């Protein structure tokens, strides 16, 4: 249950919908991740794309994490919030010249490069500025993440990374680029991965490619294995903090670190998902011939994941009465799309207009993916410590 009775009282009269962020849980999650990583001398770059709410970012920065960015604006935001440039990476298949130039001027830690052409463009732009760009080559390892196909990124059919067939050419282009310095290899196979064997398979591929480069005389200083650790959407109260020890253990055991390689991670969801919930009010209840509907004042415009990926989020009534009978509701939003549905046949205590509903585990890829479709209002949020 998200709120105790005293907290529920405080919510009376607060305008809905809003994102509710539990900052104490965020801190506990970050501390657990940092401790598990530090123990193994691993480095974590927080993937800003999961949530770039100012308050959340400044807490993450204060704990000493680096930043993993996928746009010029994310790089700028990390700098503005105070992340050290030497801990910022810039990834993405389509970096514009303007974004690259700006990141070069900030002297970020490294670009995660996704194609040979991009390598040449970075070299050219760095030459113009008289800079040398650090790059990690993103290799598409063809490892199946066994997650939703929209968030699988490491298969041959995905647009990400340099395919195996072009690595020979990439290595030779790298040798000819005077303004590019290869610091590492980068991999990322997908998101919301709950089967740790996927990461074991990734380690096997990483070792192969690291050896491939070393056999050709190129020392790899940084191994960046991306992000992707999943969270428990079904049991946010029972499992609020992912098992970072078990996750890092896989890499500790299976990554071959014969040299002094640094191992970098780009975690997003695992750090922020559980600390956020979307809180909404029941506008109307409606019983059709086949269905009972709860119509909320939040919709796919505030949380797009269910509509876009058929993603499950736990839905609960706030401050529910144990004596209320249970009804199976289709919980829907106000947007003019049938996909605007948070859950079908969700068993909930009988609800009425004005009741509050929480949609849990919405701290990652929630607020950041909100839209103004239907000219909806700007998203609101409140924090609890
Ligand atoms: N590194 C790279 C290169 C990525 O593409 C991503 C996520 C991450 C790190 C962070 O992954 P995480 O640790 O958060 O799994 N909107 C989707 C998720 C898209 C993930 C995109 N890439 C969702 O709501 O499930």
Res. 11 pLDDT band, cuts 50 70 90: confident
From 149, 227, 361, mutation site for ligand 1 pocket: most ligand atoms within 8 A of C-beta: 227
Please state the residue numbers annotated as binding site.
228, 266-269, 305, 309, 337, 365
267 lines ligand 1 (CB under 6 A): yes
Q: For residues 50 and 274, is the Cβ–Cβ distance under 8 A?
A: no
Q: Which of 69, 203, 275, 336 is catalytic?
A: 336
DSSP 224-270: E----B---SS-TTT--S--HHHHHHHHHHHS---S--EEEEEE-HH
What does the alpha-carbon distance between residue 97 and residue 327 come to, in Å, rounded to a whole number? Answer: 55
Backbone angles phi, psi at 267, to 5 degrees: -90, 135
The pLDDT value recorded for residue 257 is: 86
Q: For residues 346 and 331, is the Cβ–Cβ distance under 8 A?
A: yes
363 lines ligand 1 (CB under 6 A): no
Q: How far is the CA of 266 from the centre of ligand 1 (A)?
A: 9
Shortest CA distance to 86 belongs to which of 96, 75, 95, 94? 75
47 lines ligand 1 (CB under 6 A): yes
pLDDT tens for 245-263 read 999 999 999 999 876 799 9
pLDDT tens for 15-45 read 999 999 999 999 999 999 999 999 999 999 9
227 lines ligand 1 (CB under 6 A): yes
**40-267 carries CATH number 3.40.50.2300:** no
From 145, 198, 231, 269, mutation site for ligand 1 pocket: most ligand atoms within 8 A of C-beta: 269
Q: Which atom of ligand 1 is nearest to the CA of 266?
A: 9
The pLDDT value recorded for residue 149 is: 65
What mean pLDDT do residues 136-161 have?
73
Where is pLDDT greater, at 2 or 284?
A: 284
What mean pLDDT do residues 305-328 have?
93
Q: Does residue 230 surpass a pLDDT of 70? A: yes
Q: Is 341 a catalytic residue?
A: no
The pLDDT value recorded for residue 231 is: 98
The pLDDT value recorded for residue 151 is: 58
> Domain spans of the chain?
5-19+274-384, 40-267
Q: Which atom of ligand 1 is nearest to the CA of 369?
A: 16
Q: Does residue 214 surpass a pLDDT of 80? A: yes
DSSP conformational letter for 83: -
pLDDT tens for 47-105 read 999 999 999 999 999 999 999 999 999 999 999 999 999 999 999 999 999 999 999 99
Res. 228 pLDDT band, cuts 50 70 90: very high
pLDDT tens for 177-203 read 999 999 999 999 899 999 999 999 999
Q: Which atom of ligand 1 is nearest to the CA of 186?
A: 3
**5-19+274-384 carries CATH number 2.40.50.100:** no
ipTM, two decimals, is 0.99
Longest dimension (CA), the chain: 73
Q: How does 18-57 read in b/e, with b if 16+ C-beta sit within 10 Å? A: bbbbbeebbbebbebbbebbeeeebbbbbbbbbbbbeebb
């Amino acid at each position: 249950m998200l709120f105790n009775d005293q907290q529920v009282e405080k919510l009376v009269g607060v305008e809905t919908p809003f994102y509710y962020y539990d900052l104490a849980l965020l801190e506990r999650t970050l501390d657990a991740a940092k401790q598990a990583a530090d123990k193994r001398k691993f480095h974590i770059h927080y993937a800003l794309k999961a949530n770039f709410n100012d308050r959340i970012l400044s807490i993450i920065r204060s704990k000493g994490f680096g930043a993993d960015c996928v746009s010029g604006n994310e790089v700028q935001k990390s700098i503005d919030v105070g992340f050290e440039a030497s801990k910022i990476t810039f990834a993405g298949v389509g970096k514009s010249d303007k974004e690259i130039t700006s990141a070069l001027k900030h002297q970020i830690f490294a670009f995660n490069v996704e194609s040979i052409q991009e390598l040449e463009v970075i070299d050219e732009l760095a030459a113009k500025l008289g800079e040398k760009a650090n790059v990690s080559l993103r290799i598409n390892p063809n490892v199946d993440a066994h997650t939703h196909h929209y968030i699988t990124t490491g298969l041959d059919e995905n647009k990400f990374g340099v395919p195996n067939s072009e690595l020979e050419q990439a290595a030779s282009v790298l040798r000819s680029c005077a303004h590019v310095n290869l610091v590492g290899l980068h991999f990322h196979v997908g998101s919301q991965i709950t089967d740790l064997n996927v990461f074991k398979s990734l380690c096997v591929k990483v070792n192969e490619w690291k050896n491939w480069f070393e056999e050709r005389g190129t020392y790899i200083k940084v191994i960046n294995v991306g992000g992707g650790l999943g969270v428990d959407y079904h049991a946010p109260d029972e499992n609020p903090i992912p098992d970072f020890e078990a996750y890092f253990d896989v890499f500790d055991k299976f990554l071959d670190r014969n040299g002094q390689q640094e191992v970098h991670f780009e975690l997003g969801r695992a750090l922020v998902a559980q600390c956020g919930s979307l809180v909404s009010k029941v506008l109307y209840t409606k019983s059709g011939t086949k269905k009972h509907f709860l119509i909320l004042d939040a919709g796919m415009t505030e949380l797009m994941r269910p509509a876009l990926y058929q993603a499950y989020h736990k839905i609960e009534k706030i401050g529910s009465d144990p004596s209320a009978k249970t009804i199976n509701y289709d919980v829907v939003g106000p947007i003019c799309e049938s996909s605007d549905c948070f859950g079908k046949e969700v068993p909930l205590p009988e609800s009425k207009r004005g009741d509050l509903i929480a949609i849990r585990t919405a701290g990652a890829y929630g607020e950041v993916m909100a839209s103004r479709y239907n000219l909806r209002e700007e998203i609101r949020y409140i924090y609890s410590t």
